[in-house]
Amino acid sequence: MLNPGSLLGVNTDNTLLNAVVGAVATIGLSFTGISPVLGGALAAYLDGGDTKNGLRVGALSGLIASIPVGAILAIALVFLPLAGDLGVAIGGLVIVVVIVVISVGYTVALSALGGAIGIYLADEL
């Protein structure tokens, strides 16, 4: 069987590299609305293997793509205590943490789904 990554010159034996490629695709295609699915599918397609492996590399790709969201949380942790009012600082912090958790969960779950799709495409193409 033809190795899908060999056509692109990508080392498909390196799962972390494939997850990073998928994360970059996720961030680059963020204007599409389904970028986590596309990035996870790309990562799993390049990595190959079975569905379980596709879910794993897709989820890892989504987790790596979520790092910028963590940067937003870090910025909020620095500036929210400067709000002056303790209630505003705590409330703002809670809202930021909830938004970050939801967005990271969304990205990781859709990237894992994309990973399963990528393995299916690798098997069929």
Provide the domain limits for residue 71: 4-124
Q: Write down the pLDDT at residue 20.
A: 94
Q: Which two tokens stand for residue 71?
A: 């940067």
**Per-residue pLDDT for 81 more than 70?**
yes
Residue 114's pLDDT band, with cuts at 50, 70 and 90, is very high
For residue 14, which phi and psi values (nearest 5 degrees)?
-100, 100
Q: What is the model's pTM?
A: 0.80
Q: What would the mean pLDDT of 4-27 be, rounded to a whole number?
A: 75
pLDDT per residue as tens digits for the range 37-76:
999 999 999 988 889 999 999 999 999 999 988 887 778 7
d(CA 35, CA 81): 34
Q: Write down the pLDDT at residue 119.
A: 93
- CA R_g for the chain: 17
Q: Which two tokens stand for residue 6?
A: 């060999």
Q: Which two tokens stand for residue 40?
A: 């996870």
Q: Which of 55, 58, 49 is nearest to 18 (CA)?
A: 58
Number of domains forming the structure of the chain: 1
Inter-helix orientation angle 15-28/86-124, to 10°: 110
Mean residue pLDDT across the chain: 85
For residue 8, which phi and psi values (nearest 5 degrees)?
-100, 0
- Scanning the structure block, which residue is given the tokens 């399963």? 116
Q: Write down the pLDDT at residue 110.
A: 96
Instruction: Name the burial class of residue 74, with classes exposed (0-12), middle (13-18) and buried (19+) by CB atoms within 10 angstroms of its CB.
Output: exposed
